[in-house]
Amino acid sequence: MEFSEYIKTANVEDVVLRQPLHPPGRGTLCITGHHLLFSDREEGSCRQVLLLLRNIDAIEKSVENLLTCYGLFSNAGLSQRLSGSSGTITIKCKDLRVLQLDIPGMEECLNIARSIETLSCLDSMSELYPFFYRPSNASLRDQWGLSSLERHYSQMKELHDRWRLSTVNRDFSVCPSYPQAVIVPKSTDDDMLEKVAKFRQGGRFPVLCYYHKKNGMVIMRSSQPLTGANRKRCREDEQLLQAVIDGSDKGYIIDTRSSQQALQARMTGGGLESKSCYSSWKRLQRQMERGKALQESLIKLVEACGDDSNNMDRWLSKLENSKWLSHVQTALSTAGLLAECVERDGHSVLVHGSEGTDSTLLISTLAQLIMDPSCRTLEGFLTLLEREWVQAGHPFQQRCAHSAHSHARLQQESPVFLLLLDCVWQLWGQFPLALGFSEALLLRLATEAYASDYGTFLGNNQQERCALGVKENTHCLFQALLRPRERDCYSNPLYEHTELAIWPSVHPQSLQLWRGFFLRWTPQIHHLEEAQEEIRNMVIEWGKLALSSCPAST
C-alpha cells in the first residue's frame, strides 16, 4: 500500500501536545500510514504517545497567521513568514479522548490535518492496520478465535437429540451474514432452510442461539418474516418454529419493535408472525431504540459529559435528554423478560426485530449472561461475544465507523455494541462477584470495536472476513486478551462461581452512568482506579497467605 501520497509532511519538530491527565509536552510529531506518533523531547522525560489514526473520530483545525506582526519586517521572505504562523489541531478520538496539538507552521499544520483526515477513514478494509500489525509475541499461525459453532455443537451433548448442525450456508449463499454452520431443529432439512431463508429478511432464518440446560428450553433468533402487505405465509417457516416448541404448549416471540412499527414494516415487505399462522406462539412487542436514534443518543450524552458549565440542573436535564440511560433500562428489562420466559416460565423464545443483527443480539446476549454461569467467566464472556456478535453477523464495520464526535453524515453508525457493554457493566455493578471479568475488559472492548490492532472486529460478517483473509493475515483480539499478563488485568479478582441466575434490577435508581467509560479522561477516575488496584492487592495478599498456610495440601 502506498500511503506516502497522503503524507505531505511526515515530521514536525517543536510541537506541543496537550492531553487529558498529563501535563503538556513539547516534542516531535510524526505521521505514518496508520499512526500518529509523538515523542517528548523535554529534558529528563522520554514520553511517547502512539495513536492509531483509525481511533480519530474528528479533527478541528485552526491556523493563526502571524503575518500582521511580521508585516513590519517587509523584507522577510515568504517561507519565514509562514514559519511565523502556527496552527492548532484538536483531535477527538473514538475512545472519547480529546488531544490538542500546537504545530508551528501553518503549512505543516494543514498538511498534517489533511493526512489525518484521509488516513483515519480509509475505505478499503485491506489497508487497515490489523493487516500490518505483527507483534513479536504472536505468530499468524496461532489459533484464531476461541471457538466455532461446530465445536460449540459438539460440546453441547444435550443438543444432539433434537438439534443438528447445518452447513447449508457453507458458501454464504443462503444467508450472507450468517456463519457457515448453524444449529437448527433436527426435523428441518436444508431444503426447508433455504425456503425459510427466502421468507426472512437478509436470509436470517431462525437458528438456535442458547439452550437452557435446566429445562431444555431454547432461545432462537432470526430477522423479521417477509409477509409484506398481502400477508404472505411460508409453511416451512411455520414448521420450523413448530419443531422448536415440539411437545411443549407454547413459545414466545419477542419482537424488539413496537406493534405499530411491526405493522408498518409490512408496507416495505417486512412484517410479523400473525396469530393465526403461528397459533402456538405468543408475540410480545417490546420497542427498543436502534440505528440513528441510538447514535444520536450517544452523541448527546458525550456532549453532556463535556459540558463544563458546572450547572447541576443543566447536567441532569442533558443526561435525561440524551435518553442513553433509558436505552440501558429498556435493554436490560427486555433481556430480563426474555430470561424470565425461559428460566421462570419455562418456554422457548424466538427473538427478532427487523434485521436481527442489532437489538436481537443485544438482548439474547444479556439474557445468556443472566441465566448461564458459563458465560460469566472471562473466556466464557469472550466466547459469547465471538459467537453472538462476531460470528452472528453484527455489522461492526458499519456500526462502529464513527463515534460520538464525528461531524460526518450518519450512515449506518449505531453504538449497539457499546450499549451492550454498558448493560454488562450495570450487571457487574449489581453483582460484583458474579462476573469473572473486570471493568477494564469492557473498556478495552469498547475501544477495540472502534479502532484496533487486531482483526477480530473487522468487516461486517464472516463472509467478508473470509474474503479478506482476516484469519490468515491478522491477529485475534480474543486470543490476545487471554494471554497470562492480560488475563491478570482483565479478570475480576472477586469472582466466585455461582449457578444461580443474576436478575438485574432495572429501577432507575439502580442504573448508573458508566463513569469509567464516559468520564474516562477526567482526573476523578484515577481515585476509583486506585481503589480497584487496592482490591486486587488485598485479594492477592490473601491468596498468597492462604497458599503458604497450607503447604501440606498443595
Q: Between residue 444 and residue 473, which ones bind another protein under the rule CB under 8 A?
A: none
Q: Which position among 46, 72, 78, 312 is part of the footprint of another protein (CB under 8 A)? A: 312
Alpha carbons within 13 A on the beta-carbon side of 55: 20
Q: Which position among 56, 174, 305, 445 is part of the footprint of another protein (CB under 8 A)? A: 305
Write down the least CB distance from residue 145 to another protein, Å: 32
One symbol per residue from 530 to 549: x for binding another protein (CB under 8 A), - otherwise; what is it?
xx--xx--xx-xx--xx-xx
Cβ closest to another protein, residue 331 vs residue 449: 331
The C-alpha cell that represents 508 in the structure block = 432507575
The C-alpha cell that represents 77 in the structure block = 521572505
Write down the least CB distance from residue 538 to another protein, Å: 6
- CA distances in angstroms from 463 to 7, 390, 468, 471, listed in the order given: 33, 11, 9, 12
Write down the least CB distance from residue 272 to another protein, Å: 18
Write down the least CB distance from residue 516 to another protein, Å: 13
Write down the least CB distance from residue 506 to another protein, Å: 5
Q: What is the dihedral of CA 249, 255, 260, 263, to 10 degrees?
A: -70
Please, are residues 472 and 130 in contact by the beta-carbon 8 Å criterion?
no
Q: Between residue 400 and residue 439, which ones bind another protein under the rule CB under 8 A?
A: 429-434
Q: Between residue 502 and residue 521, which ones bind another protein under the rule CB under 8 A?
A: 502-513, 515, 519
Residue 315 interacts with another protein (CB under 8 A): yes or no:
yes
Q: Between residue 12 and residue 51, which ones bind another protein under the rule CB under 8 A?
A: none
Cβ closest to another protein, residue 33 vs residue 516: 516
User: How many angstroms from the chain centroid is the CA of residue 132?
Assistant: 22
Q: Between residue 340 and residue 399, which ones bind another protein under the rule CB under 8 A?
A: 340, 343-346
* 176-213 exposure pattern, b = at least 16 Cβ within 10 A, e = fewer: bbbbbbbbbbeebeeebbbbbbebbbbbbbbbbbbbbe
Q: Which candidate, 284, 289, 277, 291, places its Cα nearest to that of 324?
A: 289
Q: What is the dihedral of CA 532, 538, 540, 545, to 10 degrees?
A: 180
Instruction: Give the orientation angle of helix 190-199 with respect to helix 235-245, to 10 degrees.
Output: 110
Please, are residues 377 and 242 in contact by the beta-carbon 8 Å criterion?
no
Write down the least CB distance from residue 347 to another protein, Å: 8
User: Sign of torsion, CA 199 238 166 271?
Assistant: positive
Q: Which position among 46, 72, 78, 550 is part of the footprint of another protein (CB under 8 A)? A: 550
Q: Between residue 130 and residue 189, which ones bind another protein under the rule CB under 8 A?
A: none
The C-alpha cell that represents 47 in the structure block = 514520553
Write down the least CB distance from residue 270 to another protein, Å: 24
Q: Between residue 247 and residue 266, which ones bind another protein under the rule CB under 8 A?
A: 249-250
Q: Is 73 helix (H, G, I), strand (E, B) or coil?
A: coil
Q: Between residue 278 and residue 297, which ones bind another protein under the rule CB under 8 A?
A: 284
Residue 336 interacts with another protein (CB under 8 A): yes or no:
yes
Write down the least CB distance from residue 346 to another protein, Å: 7
Within 10 Å of residue 234's Cβ, how many Cβ atoms? Answer: 20
One symbol per residue from 192 to 231: x for binding another protein (CB under 8 A), - otherwise; what is it?
----------------------x-----------------
Write down the least CB distance from residue 493 to another protein, Å: 10
Residue 89 interacts with another protein (CB under 8 A): yes or no:
no
Could you tell me which stretch among 111-119, 202-210, 307-315, 474-482 binds another protein (CB under 8 A)?
307-315
Residue 501 interacts with another protein (CB under 8 A): yes or no:
yes
Could you tell me which stretch among 203-211, 233-241, 315-323, 469-477 binds another protein (CB under 8 A)?
315-323
Q: How many angstroms separate the CA atoms of 505 and 509, rounded? A: 9
User: Sign of torsion, CA 319 320 323 329?
Assistant: positive
Q: How many angstroms separate the CA atoms of 189 and 184, rounded? A: 9
Could you tell me which stretch among 143-151, 236-244, 301-309, 444-452 binds another protein (CB under 8 A)?
301-309
